[in-house]
Structure 1
Amino acid sequence: MHDRFKPQPDFLADGGVMGERIRHHDWSSTPVGPIETWPDSLRTAVSMMLHSKFPIYMLWGQELTSFYNDAYVPVLGSKSEALGRSFRDVWAEAWATVGPIAEKALLGQASYFEDLPITLERNGYPEQTWWTFSYSPIHDESGEIGGIVCIVHETTGKVQGEQRLDFLVRLSDRLRGLNEPIEVITAAQEMLGEHLRTSRVGYGEVEETARYFTTERNWTDGTVAHQTGTHDLAAFGPEIHGALTRGETLVVHDAAQDPRTNSPEHLAAFAALEFCAVITCSLIKRGRMVAALYVHNRTPRLWSESEVKLIEDVAERTWDAVERVRTEAALRKSEERLQLAIQASSVVGTWDWDVPSNLIYADERFARLFGIDPKVIATGVPLNSFTTGIHPKDRERIEEQIRKALETGEHYAAEYRTIGIDGQVHWVSAQGRCYYVAGQPVRFPGIVVDITDQKRAEEHQQLLIHELNHRVKNTLATVQSIASQTIRNAGTMEEARSAMEARLLALSRAHDVLTRENWEGAGLLEIVQEAMAPYRHEREERIRMEGPDVRLSPRMALAIAMALQELATNAVKYGALSNERGEVRIAWSVNDAPEKRLHLTWSETSGPTVSIPQRRGFGTRLIERSLAQDLHGKATIDFAPTGIVCTVDAPIA
């Protein structure tokens, strides 16, 4: 029979998409020749490659003719026509790195590399990637080396994740010692630009209309000009402007190819600003866009998810650091004003006590501080008229100090409260000294300074310190619990990291709401909206919230926020928000009798069928135990087949 009537070789059977492509490829024009002529060693190697679930790239002959399996296809990106071509041509941009490795394999030397950095152009742009791979020689029937098998695993995401965490630690260390907003911004821009090896990085603030963006200083690598000043965000079009004002991160790999930016007007604007690729991270605080961090690349660039996440993290940390130094500066100015006030305080009253007659003579200002008629004080009043004006809680102490100064002749200095002629409490600082004649006290003159403002400032500062100490202790206890329980219940460190990050962000969002309210409480509606904000993007109509805007204590607000975070995370992974149809309804009401109580229900519908979990996770325990304890109420979770229903019933403190 003629060769053309031979049946197709069965070594390609069940070889997936690439098996069929190899079967129908015109191999006669390649160095390996028609399939019918392939040696058994090549057929066996191809069959093993096709049936592997791991990405494998195989080369045959001195010409390094390319073969690969289905798992390797994503690695190629836009190089989908690599089959049958020379490895040297397919990966020409990486040949300087991998060529010597392949040549060693042809000489019989196997190689293994872990997290090797390689720059590829598999999507039209230079892209920094990392790989763990091995090159091993394949022997043919004669015992000679017929080809190379390359088993690969892309580790770009892992390496970039590790680099991101390391970068954020270094960024925090650098920002920690800075005291001016512009120093913080400059340092963050410089570090981010050098880390990403990009063209320009800028951070700026947005005025109240969320339209005009101002940057005082930016960083460049020297290939593009600085772009400072005020820019109109609306000039980039309603789609981009709207996305930014909603807090979305704008990611453009190639302005000329992106439908949002490829209009002549947009391209002209981008050309004027000298960039083709951009990431702009919008920061939403107190319900509006307040700032943004942008990264420009002069040429098209395929931004990775890790790079986008890094920029978002840097934006948040820059904002936090800027706010920190501004707050610290305000506190320093407040302390300076307090010190100046103390130093510049003028004497507001004088007295002169005639000890033998027991009459005190003083000026009008002194009289008003102690609730004495100014018309009477000039002619003298008994000592008890003076001491009657001292606050009852301080009177006994001051009388004892006066007695001691009278007996010993020591300098008299005291701070105490008085009841003024206006009925208000005043703080005064009093100083004086007793004078003697023949060992007997005769005169006791002195002055008083009104230090009410100083004392109020000190009391307020102490209140803030105690409140801050209380909050820090509570927050640390919460974070410790989250970390301990998350690590204990997570299957992997990546799962633990992701869960811990989500829980800490939920805690942070709740703290933001309480901070805006000076930690006096928070509205339940705002707590629910903030807790669900990360999950409402593209699910706006699927998450419904309804109920009165009742005020909650800080403790109750935090407990509700953390519970909603756990429920939302579970819904996204397994529940109603894991498909395209499911819905979540969060409803609450208040019952005033016999005590004011909150009744809140989380209910899921149209999601996957729910089955009762075999074990209770940290989220479930947090809701059913910790939440119930924190609120002194009851919290239950019903794993109904049609959707999870969580109910909370607790008194409103």
Structure 2
Amino acid sequence: MLESLELLYGEPDADFDRLTRIAARVFGAKFALLPLLDAERQWFRSCFGVNDLQGSEVEASFCAYTIAEPGSEPLVVLDTAVDPRFENNRFVVGSPKVRFYAGAPVVVRGQRLGSLCVLDTQPRSEVDPDQLAQLVDLAGVVSSLLSLKDEARVRARTAAALIREEWRHALTLEAGKVGSWVWDVPSGEITCNDTFRRMYGLPDNEAIDAQQVLDALHANDQERLREEIKGSLEEGADFNVEARSADATRWLAMRGRVYQRDADGRPLVLMGASTDISENKLSADNTRLLLRELNHRVKNTLAMIQSVARQTIRQNPDPQSFIEAFSGRLKTISDAHVLLANRDWSGVTMYEVIGSQFGPHFLEEPDRAKVEGENIMLPADHALGLGLILHELTTNTHRYGAWASENGVVDIVWEITDTPVRGLSLNWRERGGPKVSKPTEYGLGARLIERSLAKVLDSKVDLKFNPAGVEASIWMPLPEEV
């Protein structure tokens, strides 16, 4: 038990030293001690009148006989030199030559742990009963002090553990950006952490109530929270509400339940937590928008593919010719879709659109092509339509135009214009190839070139078959952010 009480070691204790001094004064004794015993040794928790005493073996202990006495009576030895139990004790025959001893047991939680004793170097013929009664009282005070000090140590250790746990809990909530709150229902007061106050825009270090929390939410969402809390108070069910902040800039999720009721079932304490779910809401909204955009794009793309397929087969009824003509156009549409999907349909750069037709290294290794212009980001419809135009122009120049000869060159130049509205002006011009004559009837490729930007309102495509080479002038409006 001594180990559990942590009494054997430590700095001198002023409270115990006062009691040994009082005991020595009451008896007019030279020494007073507070020895405590374990199974093998005795330890002196306080010493008066002697400074060099250390722990000793149980066999040399007067205290061992004191705690062995029945009841709570003190042990008195008037002359140790003639008492068979002590006549050969090393403290009697040697320093400090104890001849008189009186000790009262120290009892903690029903166990005898030691004694409060007085000793002298002169034997006595008698002891005043009042002195013995005071020694017993003082031993009782020692017992009470030992219990109180142990309880204080336990409380301090428990308090420290609770503080550490509270800090850990608080840090966990802070790290997780969780606002915790406790609502004292009868008083209406809410206790909460700093995260909750910041989340709801509540004042620091001031008492808050339920109405302040409601006022921090959007007016259209307050009634839903009231109904959920009412159901929890009356029926005991957990509530879970998602609501907007008063300024509608954030979404907050609040969960809670009744944790304590009185004897009549009335709610006393409601506890819960709140989290900011704005990012989740934004992500969900973006996902829904993306899905709607994807559905829209897929429908448009399927319609485009069907239209291209019908027109291609009219121009190329032979299956092999159809496959050759249609597969290139289909691949162009597919490549554009892959680029757009990789960027969540946010757009594609000019260089990527050109690279899909000229090859990814068209800038480092130009193959009879001159490309000049700012690498702007094109919206989805612009990129898809321009990709089809470049595919038809590239296919045509390989077959009949500049690249059908050894010295032909293609120039692609574009710029951003601001008049009359912001737009992209792009010019495709072929030179150095075979002489070009205007066809009597436009083929599918020419019609696709002129119609590919149909989705981009107010766009224009002007296709010219100049003798020196085909030229295409393209203009399409651009959003302000491009």
CA 1:454/1:598 → structure 2, altered by over 3 Å: closer, same or farther?
closer
Structure 1 partner of 2:460: 634
Q: 1:69-93: per-residue Cα shift (whole Å, max 9, x none)?
A: xxxxxxxxxxxxxxxxxxxxxxxxx
**Is the 8 Å Cα contact of residues 355 and 362 (structure 2) preserved in structure 1?**
no
**Is the 8 Å Cα contact of residues 262 and 268 (structure 2) preserved in structure 1?**
no
* SS of match in other structure, 1:645: strand
**Is the 8 Å Cα contact of residues 532 and 564 (structure 1) preserved in structure 2?**
no
Structure 1 partner of 2:148: none
Structure 1 partner of 2:228: 401
Query: Is 1:384 matched with 2:208?
Result: no
Q: TM-score, normalised by structure 1?
A: 0.41
- 1:407 Cα offset (Å): 6.1
Letter of the 1:397 counterpart: R
* SS of match in other structure, 1:375: coil
Structure 2 partner of 1:581: 407
**Is the 8 Å Cα contact of residues 218 and 245 (structure 2) preserved in structure 1?**
yes
CA 1:431/1:617 → structure 2, altered by over 3 Å: closer, same or farther?
farther
Q: 1:404-428: per-residue Cα shift (whole Å, max 9, x none)?
A: 55566654322234479xx983532
CA 1:457/1:518 → structure 2, altered by over 3 Å: closer, same or farther?
closer
**CA separation in 1, counterparts of 2:346 and 2:362?**
27
Structure 2 partner of 1:113: none
Letter of the 1:501 counterpart: S
Structure 1 partner of 2:346: 520
**Is the 8 Å Cα contact of residues 238 and 257 (structure 2) preserved in structure 1?**
yes
Identity over aligned residues, as a percent? 32
Query: Is 1:446 matched with 2:271?
Result: yes
Q: 2:255 pairs with 422, 426, 430, which one?
A: 430
Query: Is 1:607 matched with 2:433?
Result: yes
Where do 1:176-575 residues align within 5 Å? 348-354=179-185, 356-377=186-207, 381-392=208-219, 394-403=221-230, 405=232, 411-418=238-245, 425=250, 427-433=252-258, 442-443=267-268, 445-450=270-275, 452=277, 454-455=280-281, 457-515=283-341, 517-533=343-359, 540-575=366-401
**Is the 8 Å Cα contact of residues 434 and 441 (structure 1) preserved in structure 2?**
no
Q: 1:74-123: per-residue Cα shift (whole Å, max 9, x none)?
A: xxxxxxxxxxxxxxxxxxxxxxxxxxxxxxxxxxxxxxxxxxxxxxxxxx
CA 1:406/1:497 → structure 2, altered by over 3 Å: closer, same or farther?
same
**Is the 8 Å Cα contact of residues 351 and 366 (structure 1) preserved in structure 2?**
no
**CA separation in 2, counterparts of 1:572 and 1:413?**
65
Where do 1:59-98 residues align within 5 Å? none
Letter of the 1:425 counterpart: R
Where do 1:43-192 residues align within 5 Å? none
CA 1:584/1:368 → structure 2, altered by over 3 Å: closer, same or farther?
closer
CA 1:465/1:629 → structure 2, altered by over 3 Å: closer, same or farther?
closer
* SS of match in other structure, 1:613: coil
Q: 1:206-243: per-residue Cα shift (whole Å, max 9, x none)?
A: xxxxxxxxxxxxxxxxxxxxxxxxxxxxxxxxxxxxxx
Q: 1:348-377: per-residue Cα shift (whole Å, max 9, x none)?
A: 4132241x5443344444333322235224
CA 1:444/1:413 → structure 2, altered by over 3 Å: closer, same or farther?
farther
Is there any run of 5+ residues in structure 1 with no aligned partner, and where? 1-340
* SS of match in other structure, 1:519: coil
Structure 1 partner of 2:27: none
CA 1:484/1:535 → structure 2, altered by over 3 Å: closer, same or farther?
farther
- 1:588 Cα offset (Å): 1.5
CA 1:627/1:464 → structure 2, altered by over 3 Å: closer, same or farther?
closer
**Is the 8 Å Cα contact of residues 638 and 644 (structure 1) preserved in structure 2?**
yes
**CA separation in 1, counterparts of 2:212 and 2:308?**
61
**Is the 8 Å Cα contact of residues 353 and 444 (structure 1) preserved in structure 2?**
yes
Q: TM-score, normalised by structure 2?
A: 0.54
Query: Is 1:649 matched with 2:479?
Result: no
- 1:532 Cα offset (Å): 2.1
**Is the 8 Å Cα contact of residues 251 and 281 (structure 2) preserved in structure 1?**
no
**CA separation in 2, counterparts of 1:581 and 1:406?**
86
Structure 1 partner of 2:417: 591
**CA separation in 1, counterparts of 2:407 and 2:177?**
73
**CA separation in 1, counterparts of 2:305 and 2:263?**
71
Q: 1:549-596: per-residue Cα shift (whole Å, max 9, x none)?
A: 333212111111110101111111122221223222212122112311
**CA separation in 1, counterparts of 2:284 and 2:456?**
33
**CA separation in 1, counterparts of 2:254 and 2:314?**
58
**Is the 8 Å Cα contact of residues 605 and 642 (structure 1) preserved in structure 2?**
yes
CA 1:589/1:368 → structure 2, altered by over 3 Å: closer, same or farther?
closer
- 1:479 Cα offset (Å): 2.8
- 1:631 Cα offset (Å): 4.5
Letter of the 1:368 counterpart: R
**CA separation in 1, counterparts of 2:403 and 2:183?**
80
- 1:648 Cα offset (Å): 1.1
CA 1:646/1:474 → structure 2, altered by over 3 Å: closer, same or farther?
same
Structure 1 partner of 2:45: none
CA 1:618/1:436 → structure 2, altered by over 3 Å: closer, same or farther?
farther
Structure 2 partner of 1:268: none
Letter of the 1:484 counterpart: R
CA 1:629/1:623 → structure 2, altered by over 3 Å: closer, same or farther?
farther
- 1:445 Cα offset (Å): 0.6
* SS of match in other structure, 2:198: helix
**CA separation in 1, counterparts of 2:179 and 2:434?**
77
- 1:498 Cα offset (Å): 1.2
CA 1:603/1:631 → structure 2, altered by over 3 Å: closer, same or farther?
farther
**CA separation in 2, counterparts of 1:605 and 1:524?**
22
* SS of match in other structure, 2:242: strand
**Is the 8 Å Cα contact of residues 576 and 605 (structure 1) preserved in structure 2?**
yes
What RMSD in Å do the two structures reach over aligned CA positions? 3.7
Is there any run of 5+ residues in structure 2 with no aligned partner, and where? 1-171
Q: 1:593-645: per-residue Cα shift (whole Å, max 9, x none)?
A: 23112221112223223233343332222222342553522112122233222
**CA separation in 1, counterparts of 2:283 and 2:416?**
39
Structure 1 partner of 2:86: none
CA 1:548/1:410 → structure 2, altered by over 3 Å: closer, same or farther?
closer
**CA separation in 2, counterparts of 1:414 and 1:396?**
11
CA 1:431/1:473 → structure 2, altered by over 3 Å: closer, same or farther?
farther
- 1:382 Cα offset (Å): 2.9
Letter of the 1:402 counterpart: I
Greater RCO, 1 or 2 (C-alpha within 8 Å, sep 6+)? 2
Letter of the 1:617 counterpart: G
How many pairs are equivalent? Answer: 304
